[in-house]
Amino acid sequence: VTFLPFFVFRRLEGTRFEIITQNEEQVEISFTRTWTISKRGSLVPLNVDKRYIIRSGVSGIYIYCIMERLEGWPEVDMDQIRIVFKLNHTIFNFMAISDDRQRSMPSMADRNHAMQLAYKEAVLLTNPRNPMFKGEVDDKYMYSMEDKDNNFHGWISSEPPVGFWMITPSDEFRLGGPIKQDLTSHAGPITLSMFTSTHYAGKEMRMGYRNGEPWKKVFGPVLAYLNSVSPNASTLRLWRDAKRQMAEEVKSWPFDFVHSENYPLSNQRGTIQGQFYIKDSYVSRLNIYGKFAFVGLAPVGEAGSWQTKSKGYQFWTKADRKGRFIIENVRAGNYSLYAWGIGFIGDYKYEQNCDTRHLLYGGQRVTPDASSYNNVTPVSLTLRTTGHQ
């Protein structure tokens, strides 16, 4: 965690541990740390519960963290919350973050002997060990990605042929909505899971707490996934296998094996669906289907405010060709419903707030239980574009 006023990184180390679950199917272990007033100034004022889960048949470790501030605690600003893995630089030299962004990478030693450019993260490689990198610019921000696409990335070793991947099956705990950009993997070799950051946005994205404001949030679970292939097989099969594993994790969300009262299961979550229209009299006298529009639930605020919301949860989806959308597995809470249409100027906010503990549309109520999923009242939404009636 990076926090102010000291602007320092602090590792969230546990001071005690507890075995939560231990059976033939899985092991879940908790590492906790409790903040007290005696630690003021030296530790970020948070109670921390870090969880690690190992499951039979899955070659990886699930990681999640429950963070909490109690009412009355000191004010604090937090810029970043992240998981960092630094891999063995002697074997991991090929990085992959998407189907079309995969390459051999320079080493940290190459960076250390490079020429710094406008800022410390950007360097010109002047004397790399591998001459193919000479004259290249290396910068971790070159490998950023929008959160909606940032669901897995990692590294490949050819000798031995193994892969290391960070899989993020849901964006609900991230901040700033689906088009917030953040870091993935970069030279080191380093792999990140960025839960929060001010990257590309600045202090508006900072998680600031004043006047003893309480807060609690679950980040994750994410999966640190490892795989391997036979020495004679193409190492690109590791990427394809990680992609397959990512799809399985997404399909299984929310996970049914997490043992925490702070992580609601699927039968404790709600669903909202509807149809989104756009009204632009310069295009048509009729309402236009919100084709492929982004529609989401985020903390209550003004239109467009979802871009700087950092403390709560967000749930986004993309409408179909006729503007129809469904948002599933929503945590109980109070949200605003936001949307924007591709190719149209303007941000939309539904006039009513959406309390998923007891949704009310058109006189009918929708509660977050499994029996309601097939009986959700459709919501008709219309965005009037800026300057048009």
Specify the residue for token string 């003004």.
302
Q: How confident is the model at residue 350 (pLDDT cuts 50, 70, 90)?
A: confident
**Burial (Cβ within 10 Å: 0-12, 13-18, ≥19) of residue 204:** exposed
- In 257-313, where do the E strands start and end? 270-279, 288-289, 294-299
Closest CA to 267 of 373, 358, 170, 365: 373
Distance between terminal CA atoms of the chain? Answer: 47
Determine how many CB atoms are found less than 10 A away from the CB of residue 355: 14
Ranges 51-55, 93-97, 147-151, 364-368: which has the least confidence: 364-368
257 contacts: CB under 8 Å, gap ≥ 6: 25, 26, 53, 55
Residue 387 pLDDT exceeds 70: no
The answer to whether residues 327 and 318 touch, using CB atoms and an 8 Å cutoff, is no
Q: Is 47 helix (H, G, I), strand (E, B) or coil?
A: strand
Closest CA to 140 of 120, 157, 156: 120
Encoding tokens for residue 358? 């007891």
Closest CA to 252 of 66, 18, 31, 57: 57
Read off the pLDDT of each residue in 115-129 and give the average, rounded to a whole number: 97
- Per residue in 284-311, pLDDT (tens digit) is 888 889 999 999 999 999 999 999 999 9
**Can you give the residue ranges of every domain in the chain?**
2-251, 266-384
- Per residue in 180-199, pLDDT (tens digit) is 999 999 999 999 999 999 99
The answer to whether the Cα torsion of 285, 289, 291, 296 is positive or negative is: positive
Question: Comparing 141 with 368, which gets the higher pLDDT?
Answer: 141
Does the domain formed by 266-384 have CATH 3.30.830.10? no
Q: How many residues does the chain have?
A: 389
CATH fold of 2-251, please?
Answer: Beta-galactosidase; Chain A, domain 5 (2.70.98)
Look over the chain and give the mean of its residue pLDDT values, rounded to a whole number: 89
